[in-house]
Amino acid sequence: MYSQCFINKQSTFRKRTFWYLGCLVLMSCITACSTPAQRLDMRAEDYGMQRRVLLGDAFNHIAYVKISRPESHRLHVYIEGDGRPWLGGKYISKDPTTKRPLALSLAKLDPENVLYLGRPCYMGLEQDGICNEKYWTSARYSAAVTASMSAALKQVVDEYDIRVTSLIGYSGGGSLAMLMASDTYAPIIPTLESVVTLSANLDVAAWVKMHRYLPLSESLDPMQLGYTSGINFLHYSGAEDDNIPPSHLLKFVEKHGGQYKIFDDADHSCCWVELWPELLAQEVESLGRVAE
């Protein structure tokens, strides 16, 4: 009797073990086979963020929002980098959505109301409406993209009665944040008080020349635009960044002003997630309150 009971328990243990292993394999397969946009959806859901489809100016935008502090009437808007416009530097990607959403990881750490605002034709919308490949290659920072991003953001600002808005852009998302804060587009978002960039492409012409890329012929360049004195700017760069070197940031600040900080041990992607909680608490939050 005892031996038979022991054998049955072993058999049950083996079955449960195989079942758990099977589930793990299945989940791994689902994750591996899912698209970058689907993985973004899963991550944002895990972070407690609500998926939205916003109509901008001629484009739809996927966005994720989390209103943690409605009483603050503040909104931190996170804009992701360029993702994967090209594959291997030779072929235009069919889906430019990033596989490593660093800006989404930053948004997760933010206790303020947050909006992760997607670009036109990204995050599963590459075949939506008027989308075509130019909107993630030569026209990725175009007037059309900038206007639509601003219009989509204005919807959320109005919906949640936001009174103070901060744009936070990583890499190419920093380029778009600066374009949205320029003299031409800032009036669309009258609540805009501050812009924070991390490893941002602020001198597009110099970046293209350095890497010998094809010119972004249909794009705007933050270096060439004007900015009002009513918006506070803070730029972060890594001393080890060989994609967008600190010299580009210094040239931009020399021309346009703004606060900046260069971190000795950081590069283009490292170590912004680790640094972000302290930067938020000590610098970003106070920056957004300067103009009040």
pLDDT of residue 23: 42
pLDDT at 90: 85
Which pLDDT score is estimated for 285? Answer: 87
DSSP conformation class of 119:
P
CA atoms within 13 A on the CB side of 130: 9
Cβ contacts of residue 252 below 8 Å, gap of 6+? 202, 203, 222, 223, 235, 258
Spell out the domain ranges in the chain: 1-33, 35-287
- Answer whether 120's CB lies under 8 Å from 152's CB: no
Phi, psi dihedral angles at 75 (to 5 degrees): -145, 125
* pLDDT tens per residue across span 37-64: 999 999 999 999 999 999 999 999 999 9
Q: What is the pTM of this model?
A: 0.88
248 and 207 in contact (C-beta within 8 Å)?
yes
Q: What is the C-alpha to C-alpha distance for residues 254 and 29, in angstroms, rounded to an integer? A: 50
CA-closest candidate to residue 103, choices 88, 94, 114, 87: 114
229 pLDDT band (50/70/90 cuts)? confident
Place of tokens 């001629």: 58
Q: What's phi and psi for 211, nearest 5 deg? A: -90, -5
- pLDDT at residue 107, rounded to an integer: 98
Predicted pLDDT at 7: 45
**pLDDT of res. 155:** 97
pLDDT tens for 141-180 read 999 999 999 999 999 999 999 999 999 999 999 999 999 9
Note the pLDDT of residue 138: 97
Measured distance between the N- and C-terminal CA atoms of the chain, rounded to whole angstroms: 79
Query: What is the C-alpha to C-alpha distance for residues 39 and 31, in angstroms, rounded to an integer?
Result: 7
Instruction: Please state whether beta strands 91-92 and 86-87 pair in parallel, antiparallel, or not at all (unpaired).
Output: antiparallel
User: What is each CA distance from 94 to 34, 46, 124, 127, 162, in whole angstroms?
Assistant: 15, 27, 10, 9, 36
- In sequence order, what E strands does 84-124 have? 86-87, 91-92, 114-117
H helix or E strand, kind and range, residue 9: helix 2-33
Which of 186, 163, 167 shows the shortest CA–CA distance to 175? 167
Cα 229 from Cα 227, distance rounded (Å): 7
- Distance, in Å, from the CA atom of 185 to the CA atom of 62, rounded to the nearest integer, reads 20
Q: Is the domain covering 35-287 a CATH 3.40.50.1820 domain?
A: yes
Identify the sign of the CA torsion 85, 90, 92, 93.
negative
What is the phi/psi pair of residue 84, to 5°?
Answer: -125, 70
